[in-house]
Amino acid sequence: MRNVEVIVVGGGPAGSSAAARLKAAGADVIILDKERFPRHKLCAGWITPQVMTDLQLEVNDYPHGFLSFRRLHFHVRGPSVALPCVQHSIRRFEFDAWLLGRSGAEVAQHTVRDIRTNGGYYEIDERFRCRYLIGAGGTSCPVRRSLFGEELQRTRALQTVTLELEFPWDWRDADCHLWFFEHGLPGYSWYVPKASGWLNVGVGGMATRLKRLGENIRQHWSYLAAKLQRQFGIDVPLEPAGYSYYVRAFGEPMRIGNGFLTGDSAGLATRDLCEGIGPAIRSGQQAADAILTGAEYTLDGIAGSSLGGGLISHCMDWAFTRGAGRSSAPKQPMAGDAHGLNSSSPSRYKDQRR
């Protein structure tokens, strides 16, 4: 049995951000991921300036393809507006592997299946044991399933389903396009150019609302493919691939004992644009801070909207989720700091950060 102070399950943006902060503070941390990196991750790869700040990432330090959009075209059932902006795109294949390497943490390829608690420790597959466990394994994270299963039921109305494709395409301008609510889609489709002649296109919508309409996301992919042909002369070269994740509910417990949920495992994507990379990074960092300082793990400072929470983002949120998953009185995080993280028994890492 390998003994480690902190185990992070999942090496995506949430896991690598948590591990980077823990490692920088001298913590004994290992990341377990079922994939060998670089690994494929379905994602448009749009990142915001806030992500750059949170990662302390300078464009010149990034060794892979990086593109900044000059304009963002919002199309809402026909009418369009082109907004000047500073937003960026990366390829997840490259970005995630780079972040993971930059974290400095040890990474082991291992599919986590069984998690047990035993005498204040978490034991994983009878091979790894730790005091602190961070769930960063995406929508189907085994930490969520094992430790939070009964406390944290998924709110189906917050589930989004997607289809997307990334392929080489000689795009002519670096503008990004988003089409909202076309053909009654409770969501939007996108066209995101990337550096070195790559293009990501896709469509996402709220699963239960699609079902209620008697539709599925494939129909909306067909509409998008036809539009891409008409508008840009693109013959979509391959079948798309799909993935499902959850947008933000509020007031849910994200910590039980010394087990934490971050990123998609916690369902933190924004409710207006389903943006999940930024919330994954912030939550990973905040979970690490809670371990290092003994501070409460809260999702304060992790925005639930991409568009700033104004009228437009509220309208989008409402159009997508109909207000689902907003509890009027936030539940308290689960008590159960059984392993000495409260103020009377501070984390052993607390002093190392001062």
Ligand X SMILES: Cc1cc2nc3c(=O)[nH]c(=O)nc-3n(C[C@H](O)[C@H](O)[C@H](O)COP(=O)(O)OP(=O)(O)OC[C@H]3O[C@@H](n4cnc5c(N)ncnc54)[C@H](O)[C@@H]3O)c2cc1C
Residues at the interface with ligand X (CB under 6 A): 9-15, 32-35, 39, 41-46, 111-112, 136-138, 140, 142, 162, 164, 202, 243, 245, 263-265, 269, 275-278, 280
Shortest CB 192 distance to ligand X, Å: 7
**Residue among 246 and 349 whose Cβ is closer to ligand X:** 246
Shortest CB 283 distance to ligand X, Å: 8
The DSSP code for 295 is -
**Residue among 27 and 303 whose Cβ is closer to ligand X:** 303
Shortest CB 277 distance to ligand X, Å: 3
**Residue among 186 and 202 whose Cβ is closer to ligand X:** 202
Other Cβ atoms within 10 Å of 18 Cβ, number? 36
End-to-end CA distance of the chain: 32
Residue with the closest Cβ to ligand X? 276
For 101, the token pair is 């390497």
Amino acid identity at 215: E
For 49, the token pair is 């300036």
Element (H, E) at 21: helix 13-24
**Residue among 266 and 347 whose Cβ is closer to ligand X:** 266
Shortest CB 155 distance to ligand X, Å: 17
Amino acid identity at 346: P
Shortest CB 153 distance to ligand X, Å: 19
**Residue among 129 and 348 whose Cβ is closer to ligand X:** 129
**Residue among 23 and 347 whose Cβ is closer to ligand X:** 23
Q: Note whether 37 and 19 are within 8 A (CB).
A: no
How remote is the C-alpha of 315 from its chain's centroid? 22
Give the closest residue to 268 by CA, choosing from 168, 172, 138, 99: 138
Other Cβ atoms within 10 Å of 48 Cβ, number? 18
Other Cβ atoms within 10 Å of 231 Cβ, number? 11
Shortest CB 25 distance to ligand X, Å: 20
